[in-house]
């Protein structure tokens, strides 16, 4: 069983004295490879005007250092602005392998300044390797990286973008809606699993914050 609290603490500790995105992403990749078993490749692809280029990673040398514009599962994650989980990559013709032994892949978009600036890719040689709990916890790690690192060298080279604000579902608690906005304008479907893991005190604080602005 993965100790995600220890993994989160490791990433937090590594960002206390260093905020530049390259060291933060490098340590994040190392922490994931160290603490999550059953994975064979982990890395970031970062966005520029021409698409996605290879960032910090661990595993076999990447077969592709620049992903074609609009191609592959990473492009799907960016287009959806949401996680893409493929329990069996062999059924997807768009799959671009960094390691030929990969059977399963998990991808998260990476945000800064309200825009997608890249993706985190985690590969496994085990079919359907990542449970719902794994996916939710790794999403929290991505959000931690987004809040901890200084991505100004990347965002300064990209056109600004203003994402859509999450819609207020009729059954969506006000504090959850606020949390969705605070979490880089995520949709209800994306933020609800994370919100459900918050403590009662954290939910109460969000409620109080909302009431101050209502």
pLDDT at 45: 95
Instruction: Give a yes or no: residue 116 inside a domain.
Output: yes
Instruction: Give the CATH number, domain containing residue 28.
Output: 3.30.450.40
| Residue 122 near residue 44, CB atoms below 8 Å | no
Does residue 164 lie within any of the structural domains? no
Q: What is the percentage of the chain residues whose pLDDT exceeds 90? A: 52
Residue-averaged pLDDT of the chain: 82
Contacts of 192 (CB under 8 A, 6+ apart): 176
Contact between 123 and 44 (Cβ < 8 Å): no
Asked whether residue 127 falls in the same domain as residue 184, the answer is no
Q: Is 191 exposed, middle or buried (0-12, 13-18, 19+ CB in 10 A)?
A: buried
210 φ/ψ sector (left φ>0, alpha ψ -120 to 50, else beta): alpha
Count of structural domains within the chain:
2
Helix, strand and coil content of the chain, in percent to the nearest 5, comes to 40, 20, 40
pLDDT tens digits, one per residue of 44-55: 999 988 889 999
Say if residue 149 is in the same domain as residue 204. Answer: no
> 129 with 29, same domain?
yes
Q: Tell me: pLDDT of 193 over 80.
A: no
Same domain, 14 and 79: yes
29: part of which helix (H) or strand (E)? Answer: helix 21-35
Closest CA to 143 of 108, 178, 188, 176: 108
Model confidence at 198: pLDDT above 90: no
pLDDT at 89 over 60: yes
User: 129 is in which domain, residue-wise?
Assistant: 4-155
Least confident of 42-46, 108-112, 209-213: 209-213
What pLDDT score was predicted for residue 106? 95
Q: Based on the domain organization, do 38 and 120 belong to the same domain?
A: yes
Sign of CA dihedral 10, 12, 17, 18: positive
Please indicate, yes or no, whether residues 109 and 44 belong to a single structural domain of this protein. yes
Bridge pairing between strands 84-86 and 51-58? unpaired
Considering the domain boundaries, does residue 165 fall inside one?
no
Q: Which of 3-7, 76-80, 132-136, 156-160 is predicted least confidently?
A: 156-160
Residue 169 has pLDDT above 50, yes or no: no
Higher pLDDT, 107 or 211: 107
């Amino acid at each position: 069983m993965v100790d995600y609290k220890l993994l989160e603490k490791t990433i937090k500790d590594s960002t206390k004295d260093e905020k530049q995105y390259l060291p933060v992403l490098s340590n994040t990749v190392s922490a994931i490879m160290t603490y999550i078993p059953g994975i064979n490749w982990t890395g970031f692809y970062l966005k520029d005007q021409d698409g996605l280029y290879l960032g910090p990673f661990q595993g076999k040398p990447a077969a592709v250092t620049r992903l074609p514009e609009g191609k592959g599962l990473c492009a799907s994650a960016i287009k959806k602005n949401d996680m893409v989980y493929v329990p069996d990559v062999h059924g997807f013709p768009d799959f671009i392998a960094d390691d030929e032994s990969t059977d399963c892949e998990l991808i998260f978009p990476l945000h800064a300044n309200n825009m997608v600036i890249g993706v985190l890719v985690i590969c496994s040689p085990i079919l359907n390797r990542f449970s719902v709990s794994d996916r939710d916890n790794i999403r929290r790690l991505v959000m931690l990286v987004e809040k901890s690192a200084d991505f100004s060298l990347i965002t300064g080279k990209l056109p600004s973008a203003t994402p859509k604000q999450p819609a207020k579902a009729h059954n969506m608690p006000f504090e959850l809606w606020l949390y969705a906005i605070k979490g880089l304008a995520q949709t209800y479907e994306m933020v609800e699993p994370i919100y459900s893991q918050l403590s009662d005190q954290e939910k109460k604080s969000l409620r109080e914050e909302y009431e101050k602005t209502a």
